[in-house]
Each structure stands twice: as C-alpha cells, then as structure tokens.
Amino acid sequence: MTVSTNKSGGWTLNLGGGQERQFTTKTEAVQFGAREGRASGHAQLVIKGRNGRIQSERTYGADPRRSKG
C-alpha cells in the first residue's frame, strides 16, 4: 500500500490490485492504511511526502526479510 498526493491536492491510498481510496488529509490516509495493514496480517505501508519521496515505511505482520536492518 502506498500513501501519496493526488492531482486535486488531497491524498491517495493505493491498496494494490487497482484499488484506491481518496482522503482529504495525509493523516486520514495513513490511519486507514495502518488499520488495513493490521487487519490483513501481512502488509507494507509506504508513506510519501508531497515531493514524492518516501518518508517512511511500515510493515505489518511477519517481515519476510531475513537479514538484519
């Protein structure tokens, strides 16, 4: 899942599989994405700023990466 800006100045949460949800604020989009990630049991939420750069990443469930980091 990815939170990013949209053309109307709001925020879009891309849920994957062509599904998107639109939000007025970034906080709403991140909160909804976090709830969806916890509910699915295995998800990654990528949060981008207005400049399009990744600000943070959150992993829900077991992290498949085997290396430290």
Residue 9: CA count within 13 A, CB half-sphere:
0
Whether the model pTM is above 0.85: no
d(CA 23, CA 35): 15
Q: What is the DSSP letter of 64?
A: -
Cα dihedral sign for 15, 39, 43, 13? positive
Chunked in runs of 10, what are the mean pLDDT values of the chain (69 residues)?
A: 90 91 94 91 90 92 65
Predicted pLDDT at 67: 62
Which residue stretches of the chain are H helix?
Answer: 26-40
Predicted pLDDT at 68: 64
